[in-house]
Structure 1
Amino acid sequence: MLTSSVIDASLTTQNVTFRPGGSSVSFGVSVINRSDRFASFQLEIQAAGAGKQSNWYHLSPDVSTAKPPGDRTNFQVEILDSPLPNFVGVVNLTVRVSSPQLPEERRLVLRLMIEPSGELNLLRVRLPTERFQVYPRNIVDIPVIVKNIGSQPLEVHLQCTLETTWLPGSSERRIQIPANEEITATFPCQPLGVDRVVSRDYPFVIIAKSLIGSAVEAHGILEVLPVGFMRFEVQPQKQRIPAKRPWFPNWRSRSSTFQLLFKNNSNLLQTLDLEVRGRDAKRCKIQVNPENLVLPLGETTFANLNISPRRSWVGWPQKLKFEVKPWLSDPRLGSCDPATQILFLKVFPIVPLWLLLALLSMIVAIVFRPIPITHLAGVNAVQFSGTSGRLPLVMSTSDDCSIRTWGVTNWGTPKPLGALSKGTLAKTCTDAQPKSSQGLLAISDQAIRSLALTPVKNNQVFAGLENGIVQVWDINTGKELYTLKDPKDPTSDRILDLMFTRNSLTLYASYGSGIIRSWQRPRDVRFDSKPAKVLEVPDRYAYQAWTLALSPDEKTLVSAGQFKRLVLWNVATSEPRQLRLLDRDQNRGENDFFWDVSFAPNSSILAASDSDGYITFWNLNQCQKTPQKLAKEQLPQQSCVQLARWQASKTSVRSILFTPDRRWLVSAGDDGQILAWHLTTKGTPEPTQKPKRIATVHSKITSLDAIDTEEGVWIASGSDDARVRLYRFDIDE
């Protein structure tokens, strides 16, 4: 026996007896590190007359940890099968001991006595893979490889233990296998419909039998993939307290009940928790009955949402707004459809208003104070129209479904300009009568999230509605011209942002589902509602696309929004790439957003503001694709040089814009401050200068726009208090 100066090894026994088909046997190998360094050891066992396969034995451990000089490692070798199929007799086993850290090795020899098995089995059966995936009502083929290792042909009976109703034809097969050959048999499998089969793993066994020997088995798993959606409805969405005759005194009505409906159109067994959120929800007592909702497959489940607000004795009716968000126990298919529902509750005072009219009329007569003309709900977007002259036109839109126009006075205050065209509805969608038709350009039947003016002539305004329709009006006459809606889109997906190319021949729209659509038109011809070009990320990367930006060369379209997802679209190829965020400590959950993105004028610098109050700058000319192997449904990543990132506010920054000279970045958000950040000649923030405060309001600012005029740069803001405000910003100060 050879003796190594650095590896000392020994066997616990020199002879082992093994019977195929019986229990496994084992022996031990003890290895001592005789070197002067730390070393790990590994074993390899070879049987005389056999190849280098190792599936007939098992090692524990596979590789030892590094041991110091003089330390011992004990290996256990378990013999699972005969290294020589159908062999009976003695086989010499060579145990090779080696170490990655040492140049030498040690070999030991052990005698393995293979006894004849009690029952000779000439069949081998296996699956090419252990896991198969299939959608309900789809067909997947399960191939089974059966091998005859004997010297005579065999008739083999195969049986699959899956549900027989899933196996078209039969769960059994009979095949003839020639000697020393293998044959592949196939079991087509088709699970039942969505409402009859739950998405989970279904273990199964393939059993092979012949007249010689015992049965052999192969084990596999059939995974039924999730599919479908959860329908969510509220009946009705608008209620009031008291429900009947609110103009009479009524102190007993204290609550209102909304009926919630959930239809499980998926193959996921779901439980559901409800979250009622919004500023008004914090002031109400809310109960859900039943508290724990279980949603069986294919069934409709009802729940009652009881809301009890604090009802005042006197005063004006309160208009309360609630957002109901269902949270599913299994989110693999996303959220409900729709993800949330908005509820409205109008609460009348216990003492009706008409009893106080006499007193109020006296107060109004004594102290006359004209009511300023404003929107009836929070302002969603503001935009300047026209680039020449001293006092440009401002347009605004709101959740009250109206578009208003404002002129800029010499004192910098907005003045309602124009009046509602004849034949247009007199009420907004808030069910409230506008105080004056002055300044009303148009009224829709849906909340308006975004505005876009044709860049060339500035004579038409395009509005993105809550139901996914783009509505177009003539600015000069207030006449409704036409609407745009993708005929292939059956949903009411709300439009969150609109954007034109500089030549006004292409219109982009972003939606709450994350889809981007674009329409093209010939010059001086209106857009046509033919099927739009759709830009869409894979379902697992779906998000609410709140904002759009088009690079100055109009080759890259940027969309951003929920989950702090920022996608760069190649306009020519429609290829999406997600911008990789370098800061790993950023929040990227369902309630985390990029609210606004903007390109610096004539530059590749992109700025973005988010829900954590940060503003980030990237240089899109310094980007590279992140090398990685991606599945077909994954979204490619792109890394761009991050020029700067700083916290502009402790709350959401909802709007940002560059001044035309690219010397300032203006930001505004939930803290009500409008700040101007000085930029260097390279377009990055100046670290030595504090921001210049343009204005502070006591409401969340939702939107900004700017225009360069003879009087300087004018900035318009829209806020949650339904007000439009104007500021003149001296960029030379």
Structure 2
Amino acid sequence: MLASSIIDASLTVQNIAFRPGGPSVSFGVSVINRSNQFASFQLEIKAAGAGEQSNWYQLSPDVSTAKSPGDRTDFQVEILDSPLPDFVGIVNLMVRVFSPHLSEERRLVLRLTLEPNGELNLLRIGLPTKRFQVYPRNVVDIPVTVKNVGSQPSEVRLQCAELESSWLVGSCERYIEIPANGETTATFQCQPPRADRVPSGDYLFIIIAKSHVGSIVEVQGILEVLPVGFMQFEVQPQQQCIPPKRPWLPNWRSRSSTFQLMFKNNSNLLQTLDLEVRGQDAKRCQIEVSPEKPVLPLGEITSTNLTLSPRRPWIGWPRKLKFELKPWLSDPRLGSSDPATQILFLKVFPIVPLWLLVVLLLIIAAAVFRPTPITHLAGVNAVRLSGTSGRSPLVMSVSDDCSIRTWGVTDWGTLTAQGSLSKGTLAKTCTDAQPNSSKGLLAITQQAIRSLALIPVKNNQVFAGLENGTVQVWDINTGKGLYTLKDPKDQTSDRILDLMFTRNSLTLYTSYGSGTIRSWQRPRDVRFDSKPAKVLKVPDRFAYQAWSLALSPDEKILVSAGQFKRLVLWDVANSQPRQLKLSDNAQNRGENDFFWDVSFAPNTSILAASDSDGYVTLWDLSQCQKAARKASPKEQLPQQSCEERARWKVSNTSVRNILFTPDQRWLISAGDDGQILAWRLTANFTPDLTQKPKQIATLSSRITSLDLIPKEQGVWIASGSDDAQVRLYRFNPDE
């Protein structure tokens, strides 16, 4: 009672609000001297949780004059700054009233509300990366780190904005508590819908953080939906006729046929389609695509009409035209369509019905009998010569008509069909044409045969690489089918372009249209294992059609060559690829540029390659620089430079085949110009261009395959060509 009667003090307000950075606020303190003596008074103000600093407020007056008993002193307190930096909320101010003349003091409490400053933000927000990648239907975590730089705990609401709410797993909001000067990480999980509902691309999202006192911060990020899926391509039916129904009388009105092409976009890439019609027959037709450049929406089937208008002859035999359709997608990130191409057949009948021609032919046949020669029914893809198979000498050939034929060599150097299919097994080939004779047929498959190889040493088994990626094996002497090789993990129809045996016949290499190389193993005198021992692949972005294989004489290096003029050297021991670096003058390395064939000179390190620009190039693989270190996937395959011995022009068109003679003196070349040429080589394996090449043969059609074996003073050379013919030549360089 005595203390309260000496100093009587009161506040003009009990609550006051202040915004740091804004105008100052003030309140008053009234003090009455209740003592019985003169006394002066002072004020001291402290904020709960603050230090001893007092520069955040100003007093007027600092000290009152001495007052007589009963007199009153009025103090004015002006708040200039926040007593608690970076604090938003309510703080209690303790106002202490005292006098140096009195032993007592008085304490008053005022509630100060510190409001947030518009320029002050106590929250910090961040993402570990600005870009997040995810496939459709997969879940990606988006961790968000929020930091409270204030001196008081903060309640924060996080919100993920801009993205579709259905993409977020759970709620699009998170509520978190962050201690003073602490940080907390919250995670949003995002799951885009399936591929046919959301296109691949970048999607902006914003993470917004708002504290309970009004502080707001945000951060932006990108959610990249990665491309996935494939483009399904179908043509039904794949074979049509002009006219659709064969008439008994002449029909000149049917001039075209329309195929319906179906495309289903099973990906998340919006595509525009360009259709390329390939093949020799395409050059003789008028082609119309409607619509010309169809748009393929996600998850939908789009129909396109392809109209072919060939020239119909008035009289003659029906022609079966073959076309290869290649869709080109506007966005190639997922590769080509599935399948990459489709084969169409169009049978064109003459305007005058066939029965009239048959009558005419019967009349001619009655006068002159000319037996039909035995040939393949389509272009020849590969030929092989054997001298130790039990049918010595022997030529074997395979074709797009899905047949394997065997030919004996007469004493005059001509070919005659040898052997035949077992009785009752003669069937149509895949060209839907009936062979005119079973003579010379070793086997008929249901797929076009691209490559052929005879097992070394015994030469009693033949291995054929088919269009659908299988290897079929037959016994040459009995004609019996033995077994089939197919990688069980390969669910594609990846055509086999070349086959290569090691000298001991225990390892078989196969190359494919995708650029894959497979190695098959077998114990001695036992069939090959049904699973490949190794699968050699370059990264997908460097994929190419591997048209030819060559094995170095020491069998330590396997060379694969093909599309984009790519030469890949595989270390057989560790399966590591490196790309042979080409010289700057080896131009044209696009999709339609190829190394068609590679071959090692016998018992040397000299490698020869022929290309689609008409050149043959020789390298010495014993003179190579150390291979470059493995490059990142965004760069290129490891490069290796080797000494280029020679590069010379052989033809104005593609050179598809090259062979060294066993004596290393000659290189034999053949290709699209129909010429088989022999080039003399010097002692250091460079062409002697001072002399013209020897011309072995000149054909009117493209030569697709060559093989040779020693024979007496020279070599026998067998060729296969687009005109379905197999031919044999004897080359004696000394003649």
Scaled to the shorter chain, the TM-score interval is 0.7 to 0.9
Matches within 5 A, 1:678-697: 678-697=680-699
Query: Larger Cα Rg: Structure 1 or Structure 2?
Result: 2
Letter in 1 for 2:428: K
Residue aligning to 2:156 = 156
Residues 375 and 398 in structure 1, CA contact (< 8 A), matched pair in contact too: yes
Letter in 1 for 2:292: E
TM-score normalised by L of structure 2: 0.80
Q: CA deviation at 1:292?
A: 2.9
Q: CA deviation at 1:316?
A: 0.6
Residue aligning to 2:137 = 137
Matches within 5 A, 1:183-198: 183-198=184-199
Letter in 2 for 1:305: L
User: How far does the alpha carbon of each residue in 1:557-601 deviate from its partner, in whole angstroms, 9 at most, with x for none?
Assistant: 222222222222222222222223232662222222111111111
The farther-off stretch of 310-319 and 524-533 is 524-533
1:455 matched to 2:456: yes
> How far apart, CA to CA, are the structure 1 residues paired with 2:224 and 2:361?
70
User: How far does the alpha carbon of each residue in 1:100-142 deviate from its partner, in whole angstroms, 9 at most, with x for none?
Assistant: xxxxxxxxxxxxxxxx974311222222222221111222222
Residue aligning to 2:663 = 661
Residues 122 and 213 in structure 1, CA contact (< 8 A), matched pair in contact too: no
> How far apart, CA to CA, are the structure 1 residues paired with 2:605 and 2:145?
58
Residue aligning to 1:124 = 124
The 1:254/1:478 distance shift into structure 2, 3 A limit, reads same
> How far apart, CA to CA, are the structure 2 residues paired with 1:271 and 1:626?
39
The 1:173/1:637 distance shift into structure 2, 3 A limit, reads farther
User: How far does the alpha carbon of each residue in 1:131-187 deviate from its partner, in whole angstroms, 9 at most, with x for none?
Assistant: 221111222222223222222232222222222222212222222333333333322
> How far apart, CA to CA, are the structure 2 residues paired with 1:140 and 1:486?
35
Residue aligning to 1:427 = 428
The 1:417/1:454 distance shift into structure 2, 3 A limit, reads same
Q: CA deviation at 1:332?
A: 0.9
Letter in 2 for 1:701: I
Letter in 1 for 2:459: N
Letter in 1 for 2:410: T
> Residue 681 of structure 1 aligns to a residue in which SS?
coil
Residues 390 and 711 in structure 1, CA contact (< 8 A), matched pair in contact too: no
> How far apart, CA to CA, are the structure 2 residues paired with 1:420 and 1:623?
53
Letter in 2 for 1:718: G
Residue aligning to 2:403 = 402
Residue aligning to 1:57 = none
Q: CA deviation at 1:672?
A: 0.7
> How far apart, CA to CA, are the structure 2 residues paired with 1:286 and 1:727?
41
> How far apart, CA to CA, are the structure 2 residues paired with 1:153 and 1:682?
85
> Residue 193 of structure 2 aligns to a residue in which SS?
coil
> Residue 158 of structure 1 aligns to a residue in which SS?
strand
Residues 631 and 637 in structure 2, CA contact (< 8 A), matched pair in contact too: no
Residues 279 and 323 in structure 2, CA contact (< 8 A), matched pair in contact too: yes
Q: 2:731 aligns with which of 720, 723, 729?
A: 729
> Residue 589 of structure 1 aligns to a residue in which SS?
coil
Letter in 2 for 1:522: P
Gaps of 5+ in 2: 1-19, 22-84, 87-115
> How far apart, CA to CA, are the structure 1 residues paired with 2:646 and 2:719?
25
Residue aligning to 2:676 = 674
Q: CA deviation at 1:427?
A: 2.6
The 1:629/1:545 distance shift into structure 2, 3 A limit, reads closer
Residue aligning to 1:709 = 711
> How far apart, CA to CA, are the structure 1 residues paired with 2:196 and 2:148?
42
The farther-off stretch of 682-691 and 568-577 is 682-691
> How far apart, CA to CA, are the structure 2 residues paired with 1:170 and 1:680?
79
The 1:620/1:165 distance shift into structure 2, 3 A limit, reads farther
Q: CA deviation at 1:462?
A: 0.9
The 1:185/1:636 distance shift into structure 2, 3 A limit, reads farther
> How far apart, CA to CA, are the structure 2 residues paired with 1:213 and 1:588?
62
Letter in 1 for 2:301: T
> Residue 625 of structure 1 aligns to a residue in which SS?
coil
> How far apart, CA to CA, are the structure 1 residues paired with 2:621 and 2:248?
61
> Residue 358 of structure 1 aligns to a residue in which SS?
helix
> How far apart, CA to CA, are the structure 2 residues paired with 1:156 and 1:689?
88
Q: 1:639 aligns with which of 597, 621, 641?
A: 641
User: How far does the alpha carbon of each residue in 1:453-504 deviate from its partner, in whole angstroms, 9 at most, with x for none?
Assistant: 1102101111111122211111112122222222222222221111111111
Residue aligning to 2:3 = none
Matches within 5 A, 1:22-421: 118-161=118-161, 162-212=163-213, 214-246=215-247, 248-386=249-387, 392-421=393-422
> How far apart, CA to CA, are the structure 1 residues paired with 2:172 and 2:621?
58
1:478 matched to 2:479: yes
> How far apart, CA to CA, are the structure 2 residues paired with 1:590 and 1:257?
29
Q: CA deviation at 1:532?
A: 5.4
Aligned residue pairs, count: 624
Residue aligning to 1:625 = 627
> How far apart, CA to CA, are the structure 1 residues paired with 2:460 and 2:568?
31
> How far apart, CA to CA, are the structure 2 residues paired with 1:246 and 1:464?
41
Letter in 2 for 1:265: N
1:698 matched to 2:700: yes
The 1:388/1:163 distance shift into structure 2, 3 A limit, reads closer
Residue aligning to 1:437 = 438
> How far apart, CA to CA, are the structure 1 residues paired with 2:457 and 2:630?
43
Q: CA deviation at 1:426?
A: 3.4
User: How far does the alpha carbon of each residue in 1:323-353 deviate from its partner, in whole angstroms, 9 at most, with x for none?
Assistant: 1111111111111111111111111112112
The 1:430/1:133 distance shift into structure 2, 3 A limit, reads same
> How far apart, CA to CA, are the structure 2 residues paired with 1:555 and 1:473?
29
Matches within 5 A, 1:528-539: 528-530=529-531, 533-539=534-540
The 1:631/1:316 distance shift into structure 2, 3 A limit, reads closer
